[in-house]
Amino acid sequence: MTLVTTPNLTDADGFYAALLAAHKGRTEAESHALNAQLVLILANHIGDEAVLREALELAKA
């Protein structure tokens, strides 16, 4: 498997809104904590180390 970089969410706007809603009312530190947990949860769900490496590279680029 390789990292999906083309549109993959049926409702991208909906997810974006849900992401912002999850952060609403949080301090910056609390938001960082939430993001960190989200990264860990999603990474575990993906599981594929090659995909995760690609994702890390894309984010760092």
Partner 1 sequence: MPYDYRPYAYVPPPGLTAPEPRHKVVIVGAGPIGLAMALELANHGIPSVVADDNNVVSVGSRAICWSKRSLEILDRLGVAQRAVEKGVTWKVGRTFHREAEVFNFDLLPEDGHQMPAFVNLQQYYVEEYLIERAAAEPLIDLRFRNKVVSVSQGGDHAVAEIETPDGPYRLEAEYLIACDGARSSIRGMMGLDFDGELFEERFLIADIEMQGDFPSERWFWFEPTFHPGQSALLHKQPDNIYRIDLQLGWDADPEVEKTPERVIPRIEKVVGHGDFRLDWVSVYTFQCRRLRRFVHDRVIFVGDSAHVVSPFGARGGNGGLQDVDALGWRLAALLQGRAGTKVLDDFNAERVHGTDENILNSTRATRFMTPDDGVERLFRDQVLALAAKAPFARGMVNSGRLSKPCVYPLGNAPDDAGLPEVSRPGAVAPDAPLGNGWLLPSLAGKVTLLALGCAAPTVPGTTPLAPEVTDTLRARYLGSAERALYLIRPDQVVAARWADPAAADVAGEIAKLWRQA
Closest distance to partner 1 from the beta carbon of 13 (Å):
27
CB-based contacts of 48, cutoff 8 Å, min separation 6? 1
- Residue 53 interacts with partner 1 (CB under 8 A)? no
- Shortest distance, CB of residue 37 to partner 1, whole angstroms? 5
- Closest residue by Cα to residue 34 from 22, 45, 16: 22
With H, G, I as helix, E, B as strand and everything else as coil, classify residue 26: coil
Question: Can residue 44 be called a binding residue for partner 1 (CB under 8 A)?
Answer: yes
- Name the site residues for partner 1 (rule: CB under 8 A): 32-33, 36-37, 40-41, 44
